[in-house]
Amino acid sequence: MMNETLKPIIKELKAANEAFLQKSAKEGLAVVDKYPKRNLVILTCMDTRLVNFLEPALGLERGDAKIIKVAGNTVSDGFDSVLGSLLVAVYELKAHTVLVVGHEGCGMLATTGESLCAKMAEAGIDETAIKELRPYIETWADSIECVEDSTAQSVRKLKECPYLPAYVNVCGCVINPHTALGLISIAPATTESTELIVSLNKFRVWFASEE
């Protein structure tokens, strides 16, 4: 039996889907390939302000890029679903540019391992389970103290990732989630790098490319 609190949202989603199907039946839908037309994969935050906002801000349309969303647009030191998704995008789907997009006012700035564990306990999560998870949550959440620094860290980790080929360009930027203004552009500092400018619908992104 469906939870009563779930019924309204499911009803709204079903109604929206029915309306979409009716419109699509009349107007038709373009066939879109699974390979990104711009050979681009974006790693960004799951922030609600970026929904239907980031893509037009970058001049991207359906089928142009692969988009991976995770809280804080973070990259871990080991293998996880983010790295797995990037590997699929690069090796299976022909992406050769990775753009890490952070945003001003990220919710992860106010999120800590302690706050997450406390709220999990309040929600009735088993204490043993929380204790087991705490070191991983703290390592992840407590590392995000500055959006620019954490985005730059993600860029550096991907540039140095031994599982990504040399032909993959990695770049990063931080934007304002209300205006889409690029606040800062991020490129890892290397003596053998050359700065290039790529324009995505008037959105300037700087990245490092090996000579």
Q: In this structure, are strands 97-103 and 65-69 parallel, antiparallel, or unpaired?
A: unpaired
At residue 211, the pLDDT reads 31
What is the pLDDT confidence band of residue 183, given thresholds at 50, 70 and 90? Answer: low
Q: What is the mean pLDDT of the chain?
A: 87
Summarize pLDDT for 23-43 with one digit per residue, the tens.
Answer: 999 999 999 999 999 999 999
Matching residue, tokens 């564990």: 117
What is the pLDDT confidence band of residue 50, given thresholds at 50, 70 and 90? Answer: very high
Cα distance between residue 92 and residue 84, in whole Å: 11
Summarize pLDDT for 88-109 with one digit per residue, the tens.
Answer: 999 999 999 999 999 999 999 9
At residue 36, the pLDDT reads 97
Q: Which of 97-106, 140-149, 183-192 shows the lowest mean pLDDT across its residues?
A: 183-192
What is the pLDDT confidence band of residue 122, given thresholds at 50, 70 and 90? Answer: very high
Note whether 155 and 132 are within 8 A (CB): no
Q: Which of 105, 91, 90, 114 shows the shortest CA–CA distance to 176?
A: 105
At residue 180, the pLDDT reads 84
Residues 6+ apart with CB under 8 A from 42: 54, 58, 65, 66, 67, 68, 98, 99, 100, 101
Average pLDDT over residues 158-167: 95
Q: What is the C-alpha radius of gyration for the chain, rounded to an integer number of angstroms?
A: 20
At residue 26, the pLDDT reads 93
What is the pLDDT confidence band of residue 181, given thresholds at 50, 70 and 90? Answer: confident
Kindly report the backbone phi and psi dihedral angles of residue 40, in degrees, each rounded to the nearest multiple of 5, phi listed first: -120, 135
At residue 200, the pLDDT reads 38
Note whether 204 and 185 are within 8 A (CB): yes
Q: Distances in Å between the alpha carbon of 128 and those of 115, 117, 120, 138, 175? A: 17, 11, 12, 16, 39
Beta strand extents in the chain (DSSP E only): 40-44, 65-69, 97-103, 169-175, 182-186, 193-200, 203-210
Summarize pLDDT for 53-79 with one digit per residue, the tens.
Answer: 999 999 999 999 999 999 999 999 889
Q: Which of 99, 95, 87, 98 shows the shortest CA–CA distance to 37?
A: 95
At residue 204, the pLDDT reads 40
What is the pLDDT confidence band of residue 155, given thresholds at 50, 70 and 90? Answer: very high
Specify the DSSP class assigned to residue 124: T
What is the pLDDT confidence band of residue 202, given thresholds at 50, 70 and 90? Answer: very low
Please report, for the chain, how many H helices and E strands are present, in that order.
Answer: 6, 7
